[in-house]
């Protein structure tokens, strides 16, 4: 029988740090109270805290991948590996000018997973960012960002690579299932924004307006498709965490919003919002062939929920 997920993460993070020599360990290890480095989301090719996987030996790289695998379901891990591989595809398409490479992903650990009650970790690079916080044996997931450029690689009109295809197809099916009045409420703008609205901000304050169409205005088919769309993003997590997050969710409070044309192949955007839930998707750059997706919990990102509970329990107000 497998260990509980928090213990799997603790063991994998401890093994990672043990596999690193100096100075790699010094780059990977940060204080848990380093808020600027811990509350961090950067999906562009920019400098970031941590140690680069390309600078590690085989044992170190495998330890980093094993840590990442504790946070993702098998299908989501496959998506993540496809996203990483696209760095080589993109570099070729750009004429090798920007020197992108599939090793340009960085891992950081905050606190001491072997000893501390509160610790966290993140694995991140271009179009991939996975953050997990562990406090008192509880895991708080999010943000989780997956992107893809190119979003689709085709041969003779057929997709060869499309890592985020289901995320697009389910949303289109939901839009198609709506009544005319529902579509009118759901489509909030004729043009899609240039990127996800939450972008790289460490905090998302309040719901994004307008909300779009509420779940209770959808018919049975539309409601089922909205539930499937939310489940798709939650199922990026291991089953234990996906079930935990689904139980926290009040599906009756969900809203769906779309921006941009509705025909395939054009720049488009959507989001789903609920109580402490924000899902965003855009495919707007490079003529609609460059996708971004994120799963966030605005009130709980970077472990804010379990940290608040822990502080209230461990340090109650007199």
Give me the residue spans of the domains in the chain: 5-149, 162-303
Confidence of residue 313 (pLDDT cuts 50, 70, 90): confident
- Give the model's confidence band at 44: pLDDT under 50 very low, under 70 low, under 90 confident, else very high: very high
Average pLDDT score, the chain = 96
pLDDT value for 252:
84
Confidence of residue 219 (pLDDT cuts 50, 70, 90): very high
Instruction: State yes or no: pLDDT of 234 exceeds 70.
Output: yes
Which secondary-structure segment (H or E) carries 134?
Answer: strand 128-135
Predicted confidence (pLDDT) per residue in 68-78, tens digit = 999 999 999 99
pLDDT at 317 over 60: no
Q: What per-residue confidence (pLDDT) applies to 1?
A: 63
DSSP tag of 22: T
How confident is the model over 28-33, as a mean pLDDT?
Answer: 98
Instruction: Give me the pLDDT at residue 314, please.
Output: 64
**Average pLDDT of the segment spanning 182-194:** 97
Residues in a beta bridge with 292: 147, 282
This prediction's pTM: 0.96
pLDDT at 309: 85
pLDDT at 95 over 80: yes
316 pLDDT band (50/70/90 cuts)?
A: low
Please name the residue that has the structure tokens 């609920």. Answer: 274
Across residues 170-174, what is the average pLDDT? 98
Percent above pLDDT 70 for the chain? 98
DSSP 153-174: EEETTEEEE-TTHHHHHHHHHH
> What CA–CA distance (Å, rounded) separates 56 from 314?
38
Give the pLDDT confidence of 110-145 residue by residue, as tens digits: 999 999 999 999 999 999 999 999 999 999 999 999
Q: Calculate mean pLDDT across residues 167-174.
A: 98
What's the whole-number mean pLDDT along residues 219-248? 97
Average pLDDT rounded to a whole number, residues 150-167: 97
Distance CA 18, CA 272 (A): 40
Which residues does 18 contact at the CB level (< 8 Å), separation at least 6? none
Confidence of residue 251 (pLDDT cuts 50, 70, 90): confident
Q: How confident is the model at residue 315 (pLDDT cuts 50, 70, 90)?
A: low
d(C-alpha 229, C-alpha 216), whole Å = 16
Q: DSSP state, 93?
A: H
| pLDDT at residue 306 tops 80 | yes
Give the pLDDT of residue 201.
97
Using the predicted structure, report yes or no on whether residue 168 has a pLDDT greater than 70: yes
């Amino acid at each position: 029988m497998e260990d509980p997920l928090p213990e799997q993460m603790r063991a994998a993070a401890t093994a990672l740090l043990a596999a690193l020599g100096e100075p790699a360990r010094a780059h990977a290890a940060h204080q848990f109270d380093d808020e600027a480095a811990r509350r961090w989301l950067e999906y562009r090719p920019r400098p970031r805290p941590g140690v680069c996987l390309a600078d590690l030996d085989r044992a170190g790289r495998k330890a980093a991948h094993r840590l990442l695998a504790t946070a993702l379901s098998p299908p989501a891990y496959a998506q993540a590996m496809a996203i990483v591989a696209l760095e080589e595809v993109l570099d070729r398409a750009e004429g090798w000018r920007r020197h992108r490479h599939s090793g340009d992903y960085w891992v950081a650990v905050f606190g001491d997973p072997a000893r501390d009650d509160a610790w966290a970790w993140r694995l991140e690079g271009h179009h991939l960012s996975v953050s997990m916080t562990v406090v008192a044996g509880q895991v708080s997931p999010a943000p989780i960002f997956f992107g893809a450029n190119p979003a689709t690689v085709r041969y003779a009109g057929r997709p060869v690579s499309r890592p985020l295809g289901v995320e697009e197809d389910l949303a289109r099916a939901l839009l198609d299932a709506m009544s005319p009045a529902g579509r009118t409420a759901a489509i909030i703008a004729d043009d899609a924004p240039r990127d996800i609205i939450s972008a790289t901000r460490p905090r998302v304050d309040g719901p994004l307006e307008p909300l779009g169409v509420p779940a209770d205005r959808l018919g049975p088919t539309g409601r089922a498709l909205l539930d499937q769309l939310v489940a798709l993003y939650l199922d990026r997590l291991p089953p234990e965490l996906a079930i935990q997050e689904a139980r926290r969710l009040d599906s009756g409070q969900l809203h769906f919003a779309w921006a941009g044309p509705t025909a395939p192949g054009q720049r488009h955007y959507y989001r789903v919002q609920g109580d402490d839930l924000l899902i965003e998707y855009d495919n707007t750059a490079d003529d609609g062939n460059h996708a971004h997706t994120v799963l966030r919990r605005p009130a709980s990102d970077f472990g804010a929920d379990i940290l608040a509970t822990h502080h209230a329990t461990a340090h109650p107000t007199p």
